[in-house]
Amino acid sequence: MTNFDYDLFVIGAGSGGLAASKQAAAFGAKVAIAEGDLVGGTCVIRGCVPKKLMVYASHFLHLSQEAAGYGWDIPEGEFNWDKLRDAIQAEVSRLNKLHISFLEKTNVELISGFAKFVDAHTVAVGDRLFTAERILIAVGGEASKPNLAGLEYAITSKEMFLLPKFPQRFAVVGGGYIGTEFAGIMRGLGADVTQIIRDRHILRGFDEDVRTNVQAGMINHGINFYTCIDSDSFTITKHDHALAVNFNDANGNKQTLEFDAVLAATGRKPNLAPLSLERAGIEVVNNAIAVTEDSCTNQPHIYAIGDCTDRVNLTPVAIAEGRAFADTIYGHTPRLISHTNIPSAVFSQPEAASVGLSEAKARALYGDRVKVYKTKFRPMYYAIAGGEAKTMMKLIVIGDEERVLGLHMVGKDAAEIIQGMSLVVTMGGCKKDLDNTMAMHPTAAEEFVTM
Ligand code: NDP
């Protein structure tokens, strides 16, 4: 027995905090979780979940056009933004309530309000003070905007889900996951979309073939690109009925374009400001909470997981870190999670997914010992549906045994396929293991075992 109010106080009821709190409580710990916003966090409330629903919504226009090739005469319907937005918010609200009921069922006490440190064992939520033997910080991140003139007029991904009116002329600044996904969504929903990036290609960090193939597919879907822009010249000015975006393009020519809305998808940063971390003496490095492999901060009883530690900022990683923490501390089964070979998907149009090393990283590490298998083809679906969509698959192997270092795909169902295929990389499998796997025909995924 301790003299603290709780064994564990979790700050932030997003994916990581929820997973950790429920697991710790299941092991018998007395747990409270504080949340200042809706329970569910970025992923459920204003991230992965509503985004994926918007991705689904954005497919129907294409499907109805492609249906003609298959003999269906489907009239081009009208898109109703208000209806989609409200339906998504209703689902978000259902999930929010579901997560609250999960907390109740597992005896985790929910404390509504933003928590901040008072000292290393005490947090304040409003004017209430709570003490805990251990504290877990799982506050996630928030959109960050560079200091460019007029960028305050741009919205972030957070506002995308609540737009009062559908922006017919839509610009995206940034070429990361968020910008690329929303460019595809808005184009699919019928907007005129322009994506403005400072590099030559979107999705920096992904394999070059992924970057170029996704971008080519997006251009094919009618998205306008401005690449290699001079980002220092970028400004937004507000006019009566439009936002004017001004920048110098790749040729140094001054561009002024008008939009109904501009999305700044220029990165995210840990959400640390409200926490008063200094009062608990918690070390912050590069604006993120510094943690060891087991998610412990420099204070041995304070842990941090998820985006606020800026390791690999993905929902499943935060959940895995949270569960490993609870298993280690309260389940007495110490374990670490691996932060390598984490598969990730971009729900762009075309979709992309990767696991393991890109070709460039593999060659930088292992030079000539790296071999690449690659294929690009038109999926059977489009043979009748028409269109130029292509699927690209790439396998990166090393040495005589051809151990698989990386798998990359652009095209229909890439995320579903790479999720399954990622097992090969995790298990240290070789190309011969793929060769020995019988193909399922006709599928796109069979190309990975017949290359
Ligand atoms: P990213 O860091 O992925 O991309 C930021 C983009 O903004 C880059 O293209 C970058 O350009 C550009 N940028 C940054 N600063 C400037 C500037 N001053 N001027 C012009 N461009 C600039 O951030 P996102 O916001 O897209 O995503 C944030 C996080 O959310 C990611 O870490 C990701 O893990 C997560 N996420 C994951 C998803 C998934 O798994 N499907 C979906 C959505 C989000 P450059 O490339 O030139 O540096």
User: Which candidate in 239, 241, 332, 441 is catalytic?
Assistant: 441
**Mean of the pLDDT values across residues 337-350?**
97
- How much is the pLDDT for 204? 97
Answer yes or no: is the C-beta of 265 below 6 A from any ligand 1 atom: yes
Cβ(14) to ligand 1 under 6 A?
no
What's the CA-to-centroid distance between 381 and ligand 1, angstroms?
32
Residue 164 is predicted with a pLDDT of: 97
pLDDT tens-digit series, residues 199-217: 999 999 999 999 999 999 9
* Centre of ligand 1 from the C-alpha of residue 231, in Å: 15
Q: Is 347 in the pocket of ligand 1 (CB under 6 A)?
A: yes
Ligand 1 pocket mutation pick from 206, 268, 313, 416 by most atoms within 8 angstroms of CB: 268
Q: Does ligand 1 come within 6 angstroms of the Cβ of 154?
A: no
CA of 78 to the centre of ligand 1 (A): 32
Which tens digits make up the pLDDT trace of 84-120? 999 999 999 999 999 999 999 999 999 999 999 999 9
Measured by CA distance, the residue closest to atom 9 of ligand 1 is 175
- Which residue has the CA at smallest separation from atom 41 of ligand 1? 346
Classify residue 401 by burial, with Cβ atoms within 10 Å: 0-12, 13-18, 19+: exposed
Map out the domains of the chain with their CATH numbers: 6-142+269-329 (3.50.50.60), 151-266 (3.50.50.60), 350-450 (3.30.390.30)
Q: 198 in ligand 1 pocket by Cβ < 6 Å?
A: yes
Residue 239: active-site member: no
For the chain, the straight-line distance linking the first and the last C-alpha, in angstroms and rounded, comes to 60
pTM of the model as a whole: 0.97
Whether the CB of 426 sits within 6 Å of ligand 1: no
Altogether, the residues listed in the chain come to a count of 451
Query: Which residue owns the Cα nearest ligand 1 atom 24?
Result: 267
- Reported as a pLDDT band with limits 50, 70 and 90, residue 76 is confident
Ligand 1 proximity of 313 Cβ (cutoff 6 Å): yes
CB of 405 within 6 A of ligand 1: the answer is no
Centre of ligand 1 to C-alpha 50, Å, is 18
262 C-beta neighbours (distance < 10 Å), count: 24
351-403 pLDDT, tens per residue? 999 999 999 999 999 999 999 999 999 999 999 999 889 999 999 999 999 99
Ligand 1 atom closest to 229 (CA):
20
Q: Which amino acid is at 117?
A: F
113-129 CB burial, b ≥16 within 10 A, e <16: ebbbbeeebbbbbeeee
> In this structure, are residues 322 and 23 in contact, taking their beta carbons and an 8 Å threshold?
yes
Distance 265 CA to ligand 1 centre (A): 6
Q: Please say if the pLDDT value at position 1 is more than 60.
A: no
Question: What percent of the chain is modeled with pLDDT above 90?
Answer: 98
